[in-house]
Each structure stands twice: as C-alpha cells, then as structure tokens.
Chain A
C-alpha cells in the first residue's frame, strides 16, 4: 500500500491543525490525559523544581541514621498478599477477575 498524498492534502491538514491550535483546544479524542494548555501559557523555567527526592545527595547532613529507623522489608515480603491496585484492575485470565501476585508464593513453596 503506497498512497501518495498531494501537496494540497498536506497543506489542508497543516492548515486545519493550525486552526485548532490557535483556538487552543484539543480534540476530545486525546482523552483525559490531555490538558489542552495553550502554548502561550509557557511556564518560566525553575531549576529548583524536581521530582520529589530526586537528587544525588541522599547521603547529606543528617541522613546517616535515616536508614536505620526504617529497616526495609526482607525477602519474606513475597509471601504477603499484595495490597496494590492490581487487585482492583480487571484481569480476564485471573480466577478472581482481578490481578494477583500469588504465583510467586507458589514458587516459593515449591
């Protein structure tokens, strides 16, 4: 299949795209994830803004004992029933109808 688009077709598409942009609305087809913010609302850059805790100085002042108060879960965590949202997420293949992580438990037993 090798369709050739004419220059006019491309121009019409680009023209239509520009029209939607100037109006500042996204087609609803882009779903809930689209925020539809007009380009004019560009935010000023601020390098102090970062993902929470994303820096390379976790070993900075005062953190030397942070870890000790929070001993992490050990390997027996696997045998626990997951409390995550996968249990609420539909799964056609699961007997419960929802996701589950019991497979590992079976493996650990065997």
Chain B
C-alpha cells in the first residue's frame, strides 16, 4: 500500500513539473498552428481577414485555392528558393566563422573563457532593431566602408556599388545576427572534448589537419547540427533584416508572409506561406539530423 501511495505521489510530482510547460506549448504553439492550418483552407474576406466559414448558400467554404496559388505562381516559389539560398549561405558562413572562434574559446584558459563567452553574447544586450540600424550606418553610402570600397573599385575602373539596400547587406547582417547561435552550441561541444584523444591521434602519426578532420570534426558534428538548426530555421523566416537592409529584389518569404497579413490582408495565403515555411524548416532539420547520423555511422564503418 505504502509503495502504491508513493508511486502515485511520484506520478503526481511528474505532472506538476511537466504540466505547465506542456500547457504552455499547447496554448501558444499547438493551438495557433491549428488555427493557421484551418485558416489556410478558407477564403479571404473581401476587406481582409477571413470570409465566413459557411457561405450564403449554406455550404461549408473550405478549399485549397491558396495552396494552388502558391504552387502555380512561380514568383512565390522563387521567393521561397531565394530564402533557402540566403538561409543556407548564412548557415555556412556562420559555421566557417564560428568554428575557429568556438575552438579558440574552448581551448583558452578557464579564466579567459567566461569573458570570451560574455563577449559573444554581448550583442544581445542591445535591441535587435538598433543593431540593424547600426548596420545601416556602417554600410551607408557616406560611411568609411562604402567610400573605401568604391574608391578601390574606381581605381580599377569599375563603377561605384551601393553596399546598403543590397543582398550583400542582408547576408552580412544575417550572419552577424545569427553568429552567437552557432558559436554557443559549438563551444558547448568542443569544450567537452578530451584533449588526450588529440594527443593519442598525434602519437599514432596524425598531423594537425588529420587530427582535425578525423577526430575533432566528427566528434563535433552534434554541435554543428545543433548550431546549423539554430541558425538556419530563424534565418529562413526572417523579415526585419531584408525589410530594412535589402533592395527591392531581396524580398524573402518572411517579408511575403508579413505582407500577406499586414498589407494585402490575405490571411489564408499568409497561412499557406507560413505552413510551407514551417514544413520546410522541419523537413530540412530532420534531413540534416538523418544525414548527420548516417555520416557518423558510415565514417565509423569506413574506418574499419
């Protein structure tokens, strides 16, 4: 009897702990997702919003018109592909910059380490939009950077190029904003590596590049995937950066969604775009995880 009571108490405790977060996710994630899914099947209202669910003829008004529109009008797919390209480029650049940075932090003396980590997250202390506006000043036509670049171009006989309001500006800012999200999981992974493994590899005849490629990098893959997911998914849906720093051709899917809800007021089509974005992000993340697992397993077998 006593054990039964204790088990019941344990079960109650488990629900007490996991209940609130589950409730939170249900209310603020699952429910909105379902509302969005439902909205994607409805007809846009004449003056924005949604048309009544049951039309005047008394028929249930659910259709796939908005989905059809996305898949038949190439301009939307183009924007989507462009978003994937931007997000991929951001992820790759972040990885290339963050990996050496995370390695340096992970191998630096313990006292310095926390300071370096603080510096990595320091940008979070100022507002996201303010940081984007700062980039507008840095990349602006009258700033030293643009003058220097265009001065050099003129020297080679090439015309001046605008840095601001271009794909270049969007990419630079995307990388800047997302870099900490790559550095932190990579650092957390690299910091746990046993230095004896590198000693052993060196002792067994591996030079610096082989030690990195055969030992450090494969062992850091979980960190790479975590960082890639943390960068790729938000970068895919971002709208503020292309809005403020991009040119007219730098509309990404995030901007399109914002447009549908706030300007065109076509909620069903906005919902369709959002669903496509969510599904694509999930699919790509899943694919990356699957590849990651396969890569480590295959590598181990190749080694054998």
Please determine whether chains A and B interact with each other in the same assembly. no
